[in-house]
Amino acid sequence: MNFQKFLITLGFLLLLGSFGVTFFEKQQYVDVTHAQAVTDATNESYTKIIVPKISVDISIQPGGVVNGKWILTNDYAHYFTQNGNTIVYAHKRKGLFVDLKKLSEGDTIILVNNKGEQKTFTVYSLEIVKSTESEKLQTNEPNTVTLFTCDGFFDENRIIVKAK
């Protein structure tokens, strides 16, 4: 009987492990020391993001997707701009975007540019989507900032916060 329990447990662990390997193969990241960042078409360069409600005050660096892989680091957030929408993303961990889910409509997000000027945005949307729904990062609203990070079991979801 104990041997049967052992085999069932082993089978479950192997199944769970293969699911994790399959899922994480889809998550592709670029080592930032070897990546060429996506250039910002607006020529606006940001250096910091501040989100007072969740005590975020961190550096941001240019990022994006290069050769199908996200530029990503454990130390700071990354950003890129598309059609007037500045997308800022980081890991869901302490010191980065761990509390992103706590934001709500009316909260403040501040981007600081390379001249020290602050641009203030007000949150108007927060949603949790599947990791495959990357189109949810887009918006038709001009002068928007979109924050996102991973969420859920095995990071199968994304938290997306939009502010203008």
State mean pLDDT over 48-59: 97
* CA distances to 49, 68, 122 from 29, in Å: 22, 9, 30
Q: How far apart are CA 83 and CA 42, in angstroms?
A: 9
pLDDT of residue 52: 97
pLDDT tens track for 89-130: 999 999 999 999 999 999 999 999 999 999 999 999 999 999
9: confidence class by pLDDT, cuts 50, 70, 90 = low
Does pLDDT of 13 surpass 70? no
Domain boundaries, the chain: 29-163
Q: pLDDT tens, 83-97?
A: 889 999 999 999 999
Query: What is the assigned CATH class of domain 29-163?
Result: mainly beta
Note the pTM of the prediction, 2 decimals.
0.75
